[in-house]
């Protein structure tokens, strides 16, 4: 696992908006088309794969986001406590899926950084540089969207009302954060 210094150690707080980097969260990319793949995932982690576009499913510990008709992202709610944590879930899925060619399992924990956005003004912040129309997204808990935010690819997950998890590639994280800090300071 990558060890690095987070750009934001504490959260950045504004009126009605809190931006915090949540590290480290286990994230796993799942790809597959076969029927066996879909049932195996359901059995291994006790969540059904969301097949409807722009949606997610979850249980107490895990969130499973729809990314494309044959691609999903799985992430944990709890931060990684020890080096072992990160590999348990991956190992389990790898054994059940990759090894027998049902699909592919890739650990992308270090690829994406999760940023939590919370407060009344989250959509106002996003609207500063996001071409996506959040009208329906806002109304449906569990919605997922992959779009661009300030020209950067992001995945946004509607976790709770005015509480979103945004995923950005690690190399863009620093830039996006300082840009959000600037945008939020003017709201």
- Residues forming contacts to other proteins in the complex (CB under 8 A) are 53-54, 67-69, 71, 131-133, 146-148, 153
Nearest approach in angstroms of CB 79 to other proteins is 28
Name, in order, each residue with C-beta under 8 angstroms of 6's C-beta and a sequence gap of 6 or more.
21, 23
- Residue 65 or 117: the one with the smaller Cβ distance to other proteins is 65
Q: How far is the CB of 147 from other proteins (least distance, A)?
A: 6
CA separation, residue 86 to residues 129, 138, 151, 167 (Å)? 33, 31, 30, 18
Of 6 and 147, the one with the shorter C-beta distance to other proteins is 147
Give the nearest distance from C-beta 180 to other proteins in angstroms. 18
**Residue pair 11/115 in contact by the 8 Å Cβ criterion:** no
For other proteins, the closer CB: 71 or 174: 71
């Amino acid at each position: 696992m990558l060890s690095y210094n987070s750009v934001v150690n504490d959260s950045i707080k504004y009126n009605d908006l809190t931006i915090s980097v949540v590290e480290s969260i286990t994230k796993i990319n799942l790809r597959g088309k076969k029927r066996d793949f879909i049932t195996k995932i359901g059995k291994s982690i006790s969540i059904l794969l969301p097949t409807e576009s722009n949606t997610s499913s979850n249980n107490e510990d895990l969130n499973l986001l729809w990314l494309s008709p044959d691609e999903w992202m799985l992430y944990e709610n709890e931060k990684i406590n020890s080096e072992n944590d990160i590999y348990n879930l991956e190992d389990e899925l790898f054994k059940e899926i990759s090894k027998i060619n049902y699909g592919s399992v890739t650990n992308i924990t270090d690829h994406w950084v999760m940023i939590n956005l919370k407060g009344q003004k989250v959509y106002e912040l996003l609207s500063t540089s996001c071409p996506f129309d959040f009208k329906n997204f806002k109304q449906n808990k569990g919605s997922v969207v992959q779009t661009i935010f300030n020209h950067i690819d992001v995945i946004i997950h509607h976790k709770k009302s005015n509480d979103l998890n945004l995923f950005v590639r690690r190399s863009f994280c620093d830039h996006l954060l300082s840009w959000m800090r600037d945008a939020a300071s003017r709201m």
